[in-house]
Amino acid sequence: MSKNLNIDDKKIADILLKESYISEEDFKKGAEFAKNFHSTIVKYLLSEELINKDLLGQAIAESFKVSYSDLNTNIPAKEQVLKIPEALAKKYRAVLFTEEKNSVVIATDNLEQKNLKIGLKKIFKTKKIILSYSLPEDIDEIFIFYRKTLDTRFASIVKNQNKIAPEIITEIFQDALLYRASDIHFEPQEKEVVIRFRVDGLLYEAGRLPKEHYENILNKIKVMANLRMDDHFSAQDGAIRYTAEKGVAVDMRISILPALDGEKIVVRLLAEYVKDFSLSDVGLLEKNQEMLLKAARKPFGMILVSGPTGSGKTTTLYSLVKYINKPEVNITTIEDPVEYKVVGVNQIQVNQRTELTFSKGLRSIVRQDPDIILVGEIRDKETAEIAVNAALTGHLLFSTFHANDAATSVPRLLDLGAEPFLLASTLELLISQRLARRICENCRYSYKETISSLQKKIPNAKKYFNSKSLTLYKGKGCKSCNDTGYHGRTAIFEFIQITKELEELILTSPSSQQIIALAKKQGFNSLFDDGLEKVKKGITTLDELLRVVPLDQ
């Protein structure tokens, strides 16, 4: 939905129904979803792919009685965009969409702002100005045309010799946010420093700067993160609360490590958009949402999310916490670090200096009369034992756990010393997840694939595909996705619901293979199964699925 307009969800859904973009049944399902999942009808329609963003844009445009400018498929030339000066374009959120002899069409996501046409008249003088609507994310993508490369901006800052370190840091942080980077790497080499961004899980070089300016940049970041400037030989960790453009606050985790050519900095950006994530946004299919919410409605028990570092486990749990966060419920978390602040939730930061560990904090939380407890991670025997006992004594407990798949969580917990009979009594749901890159919606296209060619990648392809020929999807690569064919990520899940039969099996201290074998008999879908469903829907590619998830044997 637009960042700038207060657009009524039901009004847009009504327009989609009236124009036959959706059926009456879709509308009713969306209304029910919005009511049950604290979401919106439009989010349901998008998540179920009943509409795409262009149809949404058309509906919003119609609600304001203007045309819709599709900046996805009709990307204006850079020279055309730059006819509106940067300051004016960003002030009015305006993009020159088309230009004729006597008129121009200006796309904006803020049609209600005052003096919009007056401001643009200074540029287009005698031409008639026609306003159209475009989605805010598409406007932001076009605004990238105004940005020069980091190397060019570094050179300009160095040439001016004015507050070099603060200005370079600002440019790097702003670019990282613009390109949706999850991490920034400052990598010192012999004569220069390489800046790399991790976008959608992969690292890309963003720019280079002269080595002689790095010490000032390093010291400035240390000051911002409250770290010791005189310590060059120890690993240091800190945090920054950075205020970006438009006053948006972004939390950053700072890690500094001494390397051969100097101290390396890695900055983890904790994106604000996660606060608005719903369970459908993270990639949960409807049947898995229902399973998760059923477990979350129980008065006690344990829900565990496993997966490697950076697989989105915390985001999934925050989406769940956001859903069940109500005034009558006491939710307390203990995390290391607290990644996202949630209004109405009591959040505790692990602090090794004061000996506030997961286990000690969890002991105290249990005495704070909580209904729901979120433990950032179960790392040791003591935390595992307290967590299991908390779940057994009338608390609903969520946590993350490092395990390769959902089934492996049980043997790992047993290895940590959890008692089988306690674990069998408390576990409600085991989840495992990975993150896969989404196909860019701007340049997505379909193509035909045959079973015979698929068998080169998947030896048992006939097990997963019914027909000899099928339709799959890829991204061509465009300006919107930086020519990668991917834009954003989605999670791939596997769920194991603890049934009576599984409880009895856990009592025998089973292996992960035994748990998987029983779960399969009860309808278990593996990570690969879930990912394949997203491949068939055109959410991700087969190559990306095979990159992040092991092929089922």
> What 3 state SS string does 407-464 have?
CCHHHHHHHCCCCHHHHHHHEEEEEEEEEEEEECCCCEEEEEEEHHHHCCCCCCHHHC
Chosen domain end from 222, 247, 270: 270
Overall average pLDDT of the 315-334 stretch: 88
Could you tell me if residue 12 is inside a domain? yes
pLDDT tens string 252-286: 999 999 999 999 999 999 765 555 566 777 888 88
Chosen domain end from 249, 270, 291: 270
Could you tell me if residue 167 is inside a domain? yes
pLDDT tens string 389-425: 999 888 999 999 988 899 999 999 999 989 999 999 9
* CATH number for 198: 3.30.450.90
Task: Examine the pLDDT at 115 and tell me if it is beyond 80.
Answer: yes
What's the CA gap between 502 and 429, in Å, rounded? 11
Same domain, 280 and 414: yes
Could you tell me if residue 2 is inside a domain? yes
Residue 75: how many other CB atoms lie within 10 Å: 19
**DSSP state at residue 351:** B
What's the CA gap between 329 and 316, in Å, rounded? 19
Q: Which residues of 126-162 are buried (b: 16+ CB within 10 A; e: fewer)?
A: eeebebbbbbbbbbebbbebeeeebeebbeebbeeee
Same domain, 240 and 156: yes
pLDDT at position 2 is 41
Strands 444-450 and 427-439: unpaired
pLDDT at position 7 is 61
Report the amino acid identity of residue 202. Answer: L
Could you tell me if residue 533 is inside a domain? no
The mean-pLDDT minimum among 46-55, 281-290, 528-537 falls in 46-55
Contact 374, 330 (CB under 8 A): no
- 446 beta partners: 473
Same domain, 253 and 378: no
Same domain, 210 and 238: yes
Question: Using CB atoms within 10 A of its CB, is residue 358 exposed (0-12), middle (13-18) or buried (19+)?
Answer: buried
Nearest in space to 207 (alpha carbons), one of 154, 167, 244, 160: 154
DSSP characters over 272-322: GGGGG--TTTTT--HHHHHHHHHHHTSSSEEEEEE-STTSSHHHHHHHHHH
pLDDT tens string 508-517: 999 999 999 9
Taken as a whole, the chain contains a residue count of 553
Residue 468: how many other CB atoms lie within 10 Å: 9
Same domain, 288 and 168: no
Could you tell me if residue 123 is inside a domain? no
pLDDT top residue among 133 and 339: 133
Task: Examine the pLDDT at 4 and tell me if it is beyond 70.
Answer: no
Q: State which residues form the domain around 400.
A: 275-437+490-524
Average pLDDT, the chain: 88
Same domain, 54 and 155: no
Could you tell me if residue 308 is inside a domain? yes
The count of domains in the chain is: 3
Same domain, 253 and 322: no
The mean-pLDDT minimum among 125-129, 242-246, 377-381, 502-506 falls in 242-246
Q: What angle do CA 534, 536, 541 make, to 5 degrees?
A: 70
Contact 405, 513 (CB under 8 A): no
Chosen domain end from 251, 270, 289: 270
Same domain, 362 and 505: yes
Same domain, 213 and 299: no
* CATH number for 387: 3.40.50.300
pLDDT at position 486 is 93
Task: Examine the pLDDT at 3 and tell me if it is beyond 50.
Answer: no
pLDDT at position 226 is 94
Report the amino acid identity of residue 144. Answer: I
Overall average pLDDT of the 162-169 stretch: 88
Residue 414: how many other CB atoms lie within 10 Å: 16
pLDDT band at 180 (very low <50, low <70, confident <90, very high): confident
pLDDT top residue among 120 and 339: 120
Overall average pLDDT of the 240-254 stretch: 83
What are residue 321's phi and psi, to 5 degrees?
A: -60, -40
The mean-pLDDT minimum among 81-95, 209-223, 266-280, 428-442 falls in 266-280
pLDDT at position 1 is 43
What's the CA gap between 409 and 498, in Å, rounded? 12
Could you tell me if residue 230 is inside a domain? yes
Could you tell me if residue 402 is inside a domain? yes
Same domain, 431 and 349: yes
Same domain, 221 and 330: no
Same domain, 332 and 421: yes
Tokens (6 digits) for 17 = 């129904």
pLDDT band at 314 (very low <50, low <70, confident <90, very high): confident
pLDDT at position 276 is 56
pLDDT at position 163 is 84
Question: How far is C-alpha 150 from the geometric centre of its chain's CA atoms?
Answer: 25
pLDDT at position 552 is 66
Nearest in space to 440 (alpha carbons), one of 484, 378, 404: 484
Task: Examine the pLDDT at 86 and tell me if it is beyond 50.
Answer: yes
Report the amino acid identity of residue 216. Answer: N
pLDDT at position 271 is 61
